[in-house]
Structure 1
Amino acid sequence: MNKHHITRRGLILGGLSLAITGCTTNEDGPPVGWSTFGSDPDSDPQYRRQEVAYSGGEPPGTIVVNVEERFLYYVEGEGRATRYGVAVGQEGLTFKGEAKIGRKAEWPSWKPTDDMMARKPRLQEYADGVPGGPLNPLGAAALYLYQGGQDTMFRVHGTNAPWSIGHAVSNGCIRMTNNNIMDLYGRAPVGTRVIVI
C-alpha cells in the first residue's frame, strides 16, 4: 500500500482566492460522456482510491484537499485517511481555505456562471443550464461548499472527463471520478468541514 503523509502547512484560512467561478469540462480529451463510470483504466494508479497513512491532525470526518498534490483526503482517524485523486482549478481559479458542505445533490444540474462565460464565450450555449445526467460536467454527485451560510460557487463533484484527474484543468472546483464522488458522497454528510490547502 502506498503511504502518504500530509501536514497543514500552506493552509490559507478565511475566504476565497478568487471571486465566484464555477465548474466546467476540459476542452481537451475524449468527447463529453466518454466514460462516466468504471475503473478509469487509463488513469495513473496513484490517483485511485486507497487508504493511506495520514498525519494532518484533523478529526475524523474532515475532508482535506491538497491542491498542489491533487489529492483529497477523508480523515478516518488513528493516523489513517482515505485518499482520492482529484483534478483542481487552473492557476488563479482555485478555492483555498475552509468551508462546510452546505448541501449535496446526486446527478445535479449545472449552469455556467457569468464569470465563466466571460472567460470562455463558448459556454454561452449552456446559459440556460444542463440537466443532470451522464453528459453533465458535475457528474454523478456534487458537494456544495459554503462559508458563513453562503454558497461559494465551488463544489467537490464528479466528472464526465475522468482523464482530467491529476491535472489543473477546471474553473476552480474539485473533480473526482464518478465512482469516487459517490463513495465520498455516502461518507460526508451536510455540515462536513472541508479544508483546501
Structure 2
Amino acid sequence: MISSDDAVFDAGEMDAVVPQGHLTRRSFLVGAAALGTIGLAGCATGGMSLADAERIYGPLPNERFPVPAVNIGKIDPKYRRRTVRYDSAEAVGTIIIDPRHFYVYRIEGGGNATRYGANVGRAGFLWSGDAYIGRKAEWPVWTPPREMILRQPEAAPYANGMPPGLGNPLGARTLYLYQNGSYTLYTIYSTIMPETIGKGVSSGCVGLLTQDMVDLYSKTPVVTKVVVLPA
C-alpha cells in the first residue's frame, strides 16, 4: 500500500504558502486577495534551545529537492519539536492531532510523546475521529480534488497532477489518512512556510514543518493509528 514517490494521489484541499512565483494552496482556497483513552499534554521535558533549533531546522541539502532552513524567527518557540509528558493509553507510535492547540503528538511510551507544532483546518473544515495511515509518499504528485476544481477553476491545469517540488502543496513527505479502507482526502503533509504553523489555514489537512515531517515520517509505518481530537 505504500506509494511510490511519483504516484499521483489526491491530497484533500490544503492551504499553504510557498515562495513567490509558485502555486499555493491558499491561492486556491482563499483567493489571491487573502494571500483508546487520550491523555492531557503536560509539562515539556525536552525543550529546544535557539542553537538546537537552528540545527534541527537547518537545510536539508540531500533531499531530492534541497529544502531550505526554516526561518525560526517566524515560528513561536512553543511550536518547536520537543518531548513532553503526555499520559495516554494509546500504543507507542500512535499519532494524536490536537487542532485546538495546533499540535501533533507521537506517543513514545513511558508517559512521554514527541510534540510537533502544526497548522490545521480553518473554521468550517475541522473534523475529528480515528483514522490510520493508509499509505505514505516522498515528494508526491499533488492532484486537486474534482470538487476543488469546480469551485476554483484556477486549479484545473493541475487536474492530472502537479509534479513534485518545493512549490508542490504536499511538500517532501505525506501521510495519507484512511478510514475503513477508504482514503479520507485528509493528510499530514510538509510545509516550508513557518508562518503557517499555529494557524488554521487548510481544508482539514494538517501540516508540519518539513524538518519535523521528515522526522515523523521516518518513524511512522503504514497502518499507524491516528486520533484527531475535537477542535
TM-score for both structures, normalised by structure 2: 0.70
Q: Residue 124 of structure 1: CA displacement?
A: 2.6
Give SS of 2:143's match. Answer: coil
Residue 119 of structure 2 is matched in structure 1 by: 87
Q: Residue 51 of structure 1: CA displacement?
A: 0.6
* CA distance in 1 between partners of 2:193 and 2:15 (Å): 7
The farther-off stretch of 181-190 and 116-125 is 116-125
Q: Residue 29 of structure 1: CA displacement?
A: 7.7
* Cα distance change on mapping 1:37 and 1:64 into 2, 3 Å: farther
Residue 23 of structure 1 is matched in structure 2 by: 13
Q: Which has the larger radius of gyration?
A: 2
Segments of 5+ residues of structure 1 without an aligned counterpart are 1-19
**For the Cα contact (< 8 Å) 2:18–2:166, is it kept in 1?**
no
* Cα distance change on mapping 1:145 and 1:29 into 2, 3 Å: closer
Question: What is the RMSD of the two structures over their aligned residues, measured on CA atoms?
Answer: 2.3
Match status 1:125 vs 2:157: yes
**For the Cα contact (< 8 Å) 1:71–1:84, is it kept in 2?**
yes
Residue 5 of structure 2 is matched in structure 1 by: none
**2:161 maps to amino acid:** G
**1:22 maps to amino acid:** G
* CA distance in 2 between partners of 1:169 and 1:97 (Å): 20
Residue 59 of structure 1 is matched in structure 2 by: 91
* CA distance in 2 between partners of 1:21 and 1:93 (Å): 14
Summarize the alignment of residues 19-168 of structure 1 with structure 2, pairs less than 5 Å apart.
22-26=12-16, 31=20, 32=22, 36-41=67-72, 42-168=74-200
* Cα distance change on mapping 1:49 and 1:117 into 2, 3 Å: same
Q: 1:42-101: CA deviations, max 9, x gaps?
A: 111111111111123322111000011100000001110000011011112133111110
* CA distance in 2 between partners of 1:66 and 1:108 (Å): 25
Give SS of 1:110's match. Answer: strand
Give SS of 2:198's match. Answer: coil
* CA distance in 2 between partners of 1:52 and 1:130 (Å): 37
Residue 191 of structure 1 is matched in structure 2 by: 223
Match status 1:177 vs 2:167: no
Q: 1:157-197: CA deviations, max 9, x gaps?
A: 10243321110001211111111111000011111000001
* Cα distance change on mapping 1:95 and 1:131 into 2, 3 Å: farther
**1:39 maps to amino acid:** V
* CA distance in 1 between partners of 2:150 and 2:120 (Å): 20
**1:68 maps to amino acid:** R
* CA distance in 1 between partners of 2:200 and 2:174 (Å): 19
TM-score for both structures, normalised by structure 1: 0.81
